[in-house]
């Protein structure tokens, strides 16, 4: 696997910069968007859904 870029679980883009949560990857733009997303924002449930997929994988 190419360590210089990973596929973001949120947007599906392959990016070099981002954060790794367990064995998953979230690119920097998505991370920033997530951090800046208000809980009332319509995108928030989408992020939660994506994060829950990670948790479910970890607990499987
Ligand atoms: Zn992304």
Q: What is the pLDDT of residue 27?
A: 94
pLDDT at position 5 over 80: yes
Ligand 1 centroid–CA 1 distance in Å is 18
Q: Could you tell me where the beta strands, DSSP code E, fall in 1-60?
A: 6-7, 14-15, 18-21, 24-27
What separation in Å is there between the alpha carbon of 3 and the centre of ligand 1?
Answer: 16
Residue 1 pLDDT greater than 60, yes or no: no
**pLDDT, tens digit, for every residue of 13-43?**
999 999 887 788 999 999 898 888 887 888 8
Ligand 1: distance of its center to the CA of 25 in Å? Answer: 8
Q: Would you state the pLDDT for residue 2?
A: 52
At 13 the pLDDT is 94
Cα(41) to centroid of ligand 1, in Å? Answer: 18
Quote the longest CA-to-CA distance of the chain.
37
Q: What is the pTM of this model?
A: 0.64
């Amino acid at each position: 696997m190419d360590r210089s870029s990973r596929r973001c679980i949120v947007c599906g883009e392959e990016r070099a910069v981002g954060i790794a949560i367990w064995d998953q990857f979230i690119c920097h733009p998505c991370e920033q968007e997530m951090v800046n997303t208000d809980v009332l924002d319509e995108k928030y449930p989408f992020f939660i859904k994506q994060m829950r997929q990670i948790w479910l994988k970890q607990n499987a």
